[in-house]
């Protein structure tokens, strides 16, 4: 694996576990066994690093949902819930956009806007998956999935997430 990829992967892990203020370029340099100046060579600022990591994360997220394009609504929403569950790992991580949403004051405005746009697009995707035009229903499901990550993180496991997410998906499908 090349240095840039190692730095991106390490940064994504740290963003999802500690948040944007929870690590430094020195932490990245130590993890990649390089000098701190070398981190700056690949990513001049933390904002540049965060933009790159976020862009890759969003592309992977949408690619996963694109695989569900022809699926039934229940399968689409189950796949969405699975993405959020898998993003938690063992309860130690959050979806990158959830982690970044927690600390908007620490982010460059364009990064905050990218996260906002991602959430708007996700609400639209949920509406399309349900075959409805009910932004509130889609927001409720999104809030439940993201909130389930936060609650489950407190309980350090996925059982709590699964209980909350499954109930939220069923509510959305029955509306």
> Other CB atoms closer than 10 Å to residue 14's CB: what's the count?
20
Q: 142-163: per-residue pLDDT in tens?
A: 999 999 999 988 876 788 899 9
Which among 77, 103, 88, 94 has a CA at the least distance from the CA of 166? 77
pTM of the model: 0.92
Domains belonging to the chain, first-starting first, are 53-174 (1.10.357)
State the DSSP H helix or E strand holding residue 8, giving kind and residue range, or none if neither: helix 3-18
The percent of residues in the chain predicted with pLDDT above 70, rounded, is: 99
Rounded to whole angstroms, the Cα distance separating 14 from 129 reads: 32
Within 13 Å, how many C-alpha atoms sit on residue 17's CB side? 12
Residue 133 has phi, psi (to 5 degrees) of: -125, 70
pLDDT band at 98 (very low <50, low <70, confident <90, very high): very high
pLDDT of residue 156: 64
pLDDT of residue 175: 85
Mean pLDDT check: name the lowest of 7-16, 41-50, 88-97, 125-134: 88-97
134 phi-psi bin (left φ>0, alpha ψ -120 to 50, beta other): beta
Q: 31-43: per-residue pLDDT in tens?
A: 889 999 999 999 9
Q: 103-130: per-residue pLDDT in tens?
A: 878 899 999 999 999 999 999 999 999 9
Residue for token pair 């066994």:
33
């Amino acid at each position: 694996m090349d240095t840039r990829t190692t730095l991106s992967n390490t940064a994504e892990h740290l963003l999802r576990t500690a948040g944007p203020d929870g690590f430094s370029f020195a932490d990245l340099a130590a993890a990649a066994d390089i000098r701190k100046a070398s981190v700056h060579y690949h990513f001049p600022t933390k904002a540049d690093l965060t933009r790159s990591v976020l862009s890759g994360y969003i592309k992977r997220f949408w690619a996963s949902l694109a695989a569900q394009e022809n699926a039934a609504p229940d399968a689409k929403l189950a796949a969405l819930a699975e993405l959020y569950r898998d993003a938690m790992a063992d309860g130690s991580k959050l979806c990158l956009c959830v982690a970044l949403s927690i600390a908007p004051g620490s982010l460059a405005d364009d990064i905050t806007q990218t996260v906002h746009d991602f959430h708007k697009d996700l609400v639209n995707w949920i509406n399309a998956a349900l075959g409805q035009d009910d932004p509130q229903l889609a927001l409720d499901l999104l809030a439940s999935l993201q909130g389930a990550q936060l609650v489950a993180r407190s309980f350090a496991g996925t059982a709590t997430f699964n209980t909350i997410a499954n109930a939220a998906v069923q509510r959305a499908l029955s509306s």
